[in-house]
Amino acid sequence: MNKDERRVVSPWNIANVLTVARLALVPFFVVCLFLPGTGWRLAALGVFAVASITDHLDGELARRYGLITDFGKIADPIADKALTGAALVSLSLLGELGWWVTIVILGRELGITLLRLGLLRHAVIPASYGGKVKTVLQIAAIVLYILPGVPDVARWVVMGAALVVTVGTGADYVIRAIKLRSLAKRVRGE
Ligand SMILES: O=P(O)(O)OC[C@H](O)CO
């Protein structure tokens, strides 16, 4: 074991603080989105953009400075889901996005979160590369829905891609979880 592996990383590091800050921005984003007028819409877009940038930043800082913690591996996807979930539900409540899209995406996100938490005693399942691509696509689609005047076809193409990757990566996590569980059982000799 080298010095770095022995080093204990506090969960209260800059990467995790950014993750928690993203979570804290969610209510401000929702309030701005529901307030009438283009000014508030653009404010909602600004808050959403800042929160989304922290998604990229926290992972980058954690990797670069060795700040990867189990707390971060669990909290980062939860903060992402809270932000995108709040945006999707709000857009559906405003009548700007079909409820079925929100339900499919939230169903996948909730299911994978429960799967992650359920497997915690065996291992922490971090976000996969596909999961990160999925989040970027969801964020891009949501931005197109929030921005006034974007053609419907552009919104649909990006949201369609987000839906496909969301469901596909969800299935991939389920397969990984099944393999992990049977491996853990074999190790315990069950
Ligand atoms: O697909 P998930 O559940 O691993 O979530 C991915 C994260 O949101 C990427 O930052």
pLDDT at residue number 101:
98
DSSP classification of residue 123:
-
> Six-digit token pair at 137?
């696509």
Ligand 1 atom closest to the Cα of residue 76 is 10
| C-beta of residue 127 within 8 angstroms of C-beta of residue 77 | yes
pLDDT at residue number 66:
85
Ligand 1 centre distance from Cα of residue 173 (Å):
10
Query: Residue 3 — very low, low, confident or very high, per pLDDT cuts 50/70/90?
Result: very low
Ligand 1 centre distance from Cα of residue 77 (Å):
5
Enclosing H/E stretch for 180: helix 152-188
Q: Which residue has the higher pLDDT, 190 or 171?
A: 171
* Chain centre to alpha carbon of residue 73: 11
Decide whether any atom of ligand 1 lies within 6 Å of the 58 Cβ. Answer: no
Ligand 1 centre distance from Cα of residue 57 (Å):
14
Q: What share of the chain is helix, strand, coil (3-state, %, to 5)?
A: 80, 0, 20
Query: Residue 106 — very low, low, confident or very high, per pLDDT cuts 50/70/90?
Result: very high
Mean pLDDT of 50-74: 88
Any idea where the domains of the chain sit in the sequence? 1-96, 97-190
Pick from 97-101, 102-106, 112-116, 156-160: least confident: 112-116
Summarised one tens digit per residue, pLDDT across range 116-129 is 888 888 788 888 89
pLDDT surpasses 60 at 5: no
Query: Residue 4 — very low, low, confident or very high, per pLDDT cuts 50/70/90?
Result: very low
Q: Ligand 1, residues 16, 57, 63, 76: which to mutate, most atoms within 8 A of Cβ?
A: 76
| C-beta of residue 32 within 8 angstroms of C-beta of residue 40 | yes
Q: Which residue has the higher pLDDT, 66 or 27?
A: 27
Mean pLDDT of 148-176: 96
In 3D space, the residue among 61, 65, 64, 63 whose CA is nearest the CA of residue 21 turns out to be 61
Q: Which residue has the higher pLDDT, 31 or 56?
A: 31
Question: Ligand 1: which residue has its CA nearest to atom 8?
Answer: 77
Sign of CA dihedral 139, 152, 147, 89: negative
